[in-house]
Amino acid sequence: MNAPLQSFRDAAAARASTAGITVRHPARVLSATILASSLAFVDGSVVNVGLPAIGASLHADPAALQWVINAYLLPLSALLLFGGAAGDRFGRRRLLISGTVLFGVTSLCCALAPGTAVLLVARFLQGASAAMLMPNSLAILGATFQGEAKGRAVGIWAATGAAVGAAGPVLGGWLIDLGSWRGIFLINLPLAAGAILLAWRYVPQDVERRAEPLDAGGALLATFGLGALTWALTVGSSPRGWTPRLLVLGATAVVSLVLFVVVERRRGERAMMPLTLFVSRAFTGLTLLTLLLYGALGTLFVLVPYFLIEAAGYSAIAAGAALLPLPLIVAVASPYLGAIAARIGTRVPLTVGPLIVAAGFLLTLRIGTPARYWSEVFPALALLSLGLSGAVAPLTTAVLSSVDGAHTGVASGFNSAVARTGGLVATALLGSALAARGVALLSAFHTGMWLCALACIGAAASAGFLLGAPAPVGKRP
């Protein structure tokens, strides 16, 4: 990785000379953003393999296990926009460091949680801190690199994040098999310490900006709307099913989200989600693609380890290791595909990639209760990982390139929010699967994989029909 990083220095220096920004160590800036964002990536995956152990230790029912995941995803989804807007206006470096410090503290609280209630509160605060650091890590990259160097940098950022996120369950499974699920939260502490040190020393100081009021009303409406919707879907997907109260709650959630859009429209450019971002068909296509693709991936990362442990008798470390083809393939291919997409455009890779992912999901239908790894599990994950490699880096590059410089934090925050929302909704719909056992669990697993394949086909269609040669949004053509 040193050779590609070395080639970024000249591009970063050129960017600095024109933008008035001093970037003396671009490779270390990239390392800081990777370490910080890796916290959010690893915590979004490492907990999945620990669900059975957490449930047994804390006597948590399936609904509570869903909330162990969604208590993190909910604030991450709702506040990513707020975190991106705050970074644009008050300093991306400041938000990156503050979010990383808070993430480390809340990770320690998760590790020491005496019961489910404390764990869920700590997970919620973890998600809020991840919403501070994620969009600003990517926005710092957008301000540091340009052109093909940006494509390679974002490719390395995406590949490393995917690698850490998918390798986390292996280390987490090993810690669980040693006797404790609490260690899966302690592995965040050295990552946080390294990110803080690098960001403090090498990320350039923030440029002073005019302090405008942040969109607190929009943040409250988004958080309440997503929270109510998640609660309704989580309980409604359980064996208890939908009740009149849940239907009312779901309707209230929809009303809150509609009001959120109304408020954002009235605030214009002062909104945490400026609606001018949607002037471009391309940006709308990227949003739909992200929602569908990451909703499918969210289902994969929850349901596959759970199925392998509960139905196929895998150990926690074996279930985590089963996902290793994904980080290995993505880590190798994403940087190169990101650079290629910067040259040829993003429409082709963002159309073909999700179709290959869909084919990988269809291959998972061959997996039975023995779940033979090399003949059933590995081929599906390898094909899925190949398609994902062609989509992750070009998607991130496309989002950063589709907005002007003033909107990079908001756009990256919004795209990350949409990705987490996809995972949030997908996890909320898994109640019946997490409560199933035996043949019923196998049937629920196959149904989930079918739906994921359909979602990926929809993602490919969004790219194929809506992407073209996007002009920067935030500006009317």
pLDDT of residue 16: 38
Has residue 103 got a pLDDT over 70? Answer: yes
Q: How far apart are CA 425 and CA 418, in angstroms?
A: 10
pLDDT of residue 403: 64
Q: How far apart are CA 113 and CA 121, in angstroms?
A: 9
* Interhelix angle 188-202/92-111, nearest 10 degrees: 160
* pLDDT one-digit tens code per residue, 184-225: 898 889 989 999 999 898 887 776 555 567 777 887 888 788
* pLDDT one-digit tens code per residue, 8-17: 334 333 333 3
**Quick one: pLDDT band at residue 77, thresholds 50, 70, 90?**
confident
- Length of the chain, in residues: 477
Instruction: Determine, yes or no, domain membership for 200.
Output: yes
pLDDT of residue 187: 85
pLDDT average, residue stretch 125-146: 83
Which one is predicted more confidently, 177 or 417? 177
pLDDT average, residue stretch 301-318: 88
pLDDT of residue 414: 75
Check: CB of residue 37 under 8 Å from CB of residue 161.
yes
Has residue 418 got a pLDDT over 70? Answer: yes
pLDDT of residue 63: 76
Instruction: Determine, yes or no, domain membership for 249.
Output: yes
Q: How far apart are CA 327 and CA 389, in angstroms?
A: 9
Range ranked top by mean pLDDT from 73-77, 117-121, 172-176: 117-121
pLDDT of residue 224: 85
Instruction: Determine, yes or no, domain membership for 18.
Output: no
Lowest-confidence segment of 16-25, 37-46, 347-356 by average pLDDT: 16-25
Number of domains in the chain: 1
Check: CB of residue 194 under 8 Å from CB of residue 389.
no
Instruction: Determine, yes or no, domain membership for 17.
Output: no
**Quick one: pLDDT band at residue 120, thresholds 50, 70, 90?**
very high
Instruction: Determine, yes or no, domain membership for 340.
Output: yes
pLDDT average, residue stretch 135-141: 81
Has residue 352 got a pLDDT over 70? Answer: yes
Q: How far apart are CA 81 and CA 83, in angstroms?
A: 5
Which one is predicted more confidently, 281 or 119? 119
pLDDT of residue 429: 80
166: β partners = none
For 289-306, b where at least 16 C-beta lie within 10 A, e where not — what string?
bbbbbbbbbbbbbbbbbb
pLDDT of residue 19: 41
Instruction: Determine, yes or no, domain membership for 209.
Output: no
Interacting residues of 270 by C-beta distance below 8 A, sequence separation 6+: 212, 213, 215
* Cα–Cα distance list, 393 to 67, 162, 346 (Å): 30, 10, 10
Q: Which pair of tokens denotes residue 367? A: 């997996």
Has residue 22 got a pLDDT over 60? Answer: no
pLDDT of residue 194: 92
Q: How far apart are CA 417 and CA 407, in angstroms?
A: 15
The upper half-sphere exposure of residue 186, i.e. CA atoms within 13 Å in the direction of its Cβ, equals 9
Q: How far apart are CA 213 and CA 307, in angstroms?
A: 47
Q: How far apart are CA 312 and CA 296, in angstroms?
A: 22
Question: What's the pTM?
Answer: 0.73
pLDDT of residue 90: 77
Instruction: Determine, yes or no, domain membership for 477.
Output: no
Lowest-confidence segment of 12-16, 236-240, 280-284 by average pLDDT: 12-16
pLDDT average, residue stretch 164-176: 76
Q: Which range of residues forms the domain containing residue 47?
A: 24-204+215-466
SS3 letters across the chain: CHHHHHHHHHHHHHHHHHHCCCCCCHHHHHHHHHHHHHHHHHHCCHHHHHHHHHHHHHCCCHHHHHHHHHHHHHHHHHHHHHHHHHHHHHCHHHHHHHHHHHHHHHHHHHHCCCCHHHHHHHHHHHHHHHHHHHHHHHHHHHHHCCHHHHHHHHHHHHHHHHHHHHHHHHHHHHHHHHCCCCHHHHCHHHHHHHHHHHHHHHCCCCCCCCCCCCCHHHHHHHHHHHHHHHHHHHHHCCCCCCCHHHHHHHHHHHHHHHHHHHHHHHHHHHCCCCHHHHHCHHHHHHHHHHHHHHHHHHHHHHHHHHHHHHCCCCCHHHHHHCCCHHHHHHHHHHHHHHHHHHHHCCHHHHHHHHHHHHHHHHHHHHCCCCCCHHHHHHHHHHHHHHHHHHHHHHHHHHHHHCECHHHHHHHHHHHHHHHHHHHHHHHHCCHHHHHCCCHHHHHHHHHHHHHHHHHHHHHHHHHHHHCCCCCCECCCC
- Please report, for the domain that includes residue 300, its CATH number: 1.20.1250.20
Lowest-confidence segment of 96-105, 129-138, 450-459 by average pLDDT: 129-138
pLDDT of residue 126: 94
403: β partners = 473
Instruction: Determine, yes or no, domain membership for 11.
Output: no
pLDDT of residue 409: 60
pLDDT average, residue stretch 432-442: 84
Which one is predicted more confidently, 293 or 46? 293
pLDDT average, residue stretch 397-424: 71
The pair phi, psi for residue 397, each rounded to 5°, is -60, -40
Has residue 304 got a pLDDT over 80? Answer: yes
Has residue 261 got a pLDDT over 60? Answer: yes
* pLDDT one-digit tens code per residue, 359-396: 999 999 999 888 899 999 999 999 998 898 888 777 87
Mean pLDDT for the chain? 80
